[in-house]
Amino acid sequence: MKKAIAALGISAVTLAMSSADSSALETATVTADTLNMRSGPGISYSKRGVLHKGAKVTILEKSKGWVKIKDSSGKTAWVSGQYLSTSGGNSSSSSSSESAGYIAYVSVNSSLNLRSEASTSGSVIASLKNSEKVQIIEKKDNGWSKVKTESGKIGWVSSKYLVNTPTNSGNTSSQENSSSQNDSVATSGNVKVNTSSGLNVRKGPGTNHSIIGSLAGGSVVQAKEKSGGWVKVVLPNGSTGWVSGQYVSSTNESTSNSESSQNNKPPQNNESTAASGRVKVTISKGLNIRKGPGTSNAIVGSLAGGSVVEVKEKSSGWYKIKTANGVEGWVSGDYVTPTDEPLSGGASSNDTSSGNNNSSNNNGSFGSGESSATGDKIVDYAYTLLGVPYKWGGNGPSSFDCSGYTQWVYRNAAGISIPRVSRDQAQAGTAVEKGNYKKGDLLYFNTGGSGVSHVGIYIGGDKFIHCSGTQSKPGSVKVSSLNGYYGNVLLGARRFV
């Protein structure tokens, strides 16, 4: 009898403890449309089922943003705490990467850019509409999420414009999506250039408009207007022009005094620059040498930052110079300063006879000097990128590999879409026989001994412009001759215009 009473007492205590534990357990509600149930606390664990929005669960355990739950059927599993709301109304916390693998919806007023990298410097892959459903693949602490769209496209978007449920109106807490083509440009106010290599300023909103200047990386200017992903800005000299909204972002910083990273801006007088003697290039990104005193003249070469050249003549803020290797041409006086240092640095164009003889217009054994208007635009734009560094896998604009460079030039100079890798580019367009090459044609080479491995753009005069280098020995965008090594490994040419 005593044993029975003791057993009954123990059972009662156990039951009481069990009831107490049960009553202390927290309940929560699923806030996502669909929430994966996993065998462990992380997306690497296998899925055990799904919970739908509004489902009630019991919280059993928490671990680093993940929650072990029991559903109404008694099944236990782990879910991301980010998509649970407790009875008190607070969602369980989670780290920046623990919501990966789940569904989210775009919440913007217009559209959200899907980019190739986790920053506004990444190229735009697609534009996502408000309430569009995406799957989160990865989240970074810098506020960007890698997502997969329902059409299968994968890229990065700003995390602040993703929500758990569809919305009728977009997120208006920031100005980041006020433009359908730009992640972070305000309708008015100041914008900042977020590329390191400089940004072209054009006469109108599109790459079909002529380049009238350029802004150095980090420059801050006033935004006036938007059109189709382009932003009209006020330059430091008071003139206006258009820049691609992909490469500027809204800022509260004051406007900059420096306008350009290169010499492609309206000429201005600079009385502090010597009219004779020697001058030194004061910018680090390189300075264009032109055939005449003004941006309307063709580019015949480029001077590296720090080069010292001889001054021959002055005209409206432009200087006729002669380089250490004999090239003559004109540079903007805004980016040189008087010096007594010895001559140093040659022009990168390989034109050693005279800067007044633009090699791009010369005939040669590989092709004529003929070109179309589009071919000229392609070559002129390609020259603006002289000196941009090589990086394997680089898509621009701050670095390129060979095929990333050619793809960037054709797309931005003429709106022509070509494949990304060199071997595919060598199959696109129309084949061109040697001797008939024209400016703007794509050249492809066998530099590795096993087929197509390099590409560039023909500029006339048996020369081509390309981005050359390796992972161990990176180079930059430069001009090279076909009379020698590259002519021996040249496989052919393709025409897109």
Phi, psi of 44 (to 5 degrees): -80, -15
What are residue 419's DSSP bridge partners?
none
Cβ proximity of 183 and 108 under 8 Å:
no
Residue with tokens 């005449």: 292
The encoded tokens of residue 358 equal: 């633009």
Residue 218 falls in which region: left (phi positive, over 0), alpha (psi -120 to 50) or beta: left
Element (H, E) at 485: helix 485-489
Taking Cα atoms as reference points, which of 344, 350, 312, 345 lies closest to residue 331? 312
The encoded tokens of residue 367 equal: 């092709």
Residue with tokens 């789940």: 102
Determine the Cα–Cα distance for residues 234 and 224; give it in Å rounded to an integer. Answer: 7
Phi, psi of 118 (to 5 degrees): -85, 55
For helices 373-383 and 402-414, the axis angle rounded to 10 degrees is 130
Determine the Cα–Cα distance for residues 346 and 309; give it in Å rounded to an integer. Answer: 9
CA triplet 105, 138, 394: central angle to 5 degrees?
A: 110
- For residue 317, the tally of other CB atoms under 10 A from its CB is 17
Rg (CA), the chain: 30
Determine the Cα–Cα distance for residues 348 and 467; give it in Å rounded to an integer. Answer: 13
Render the burial of 278-307: b for 16+ CB within 10 Å, e for the rest.
bbbbebebbbbbbbbbbbebbbbbbbbeeb
Determine the Cα–Cα distance for residues 207 and 415; give it in Å rounded to an integer. Answer: 7
Determine the Cα–Cα distance for residues 186 and 174; give it in Å rounded to an integer. Answer: 9
User: What is the total residue count of the chain?
Assistant: 497
- Which positions are catalytic? 402, 454, 466
Strand pairing of 277-281 and 220-227?
Answer: unpaired
Residue with tokens 């060979």: 402
Distance of CA 394 to the CA centre of its chain: 9
What is the DSSP code string of 300-358?
EEEE-TT-EEEEEEEETTEEEEE-TTS-EEEEEGGGEEEE-SPPB---TT---S-TTS-
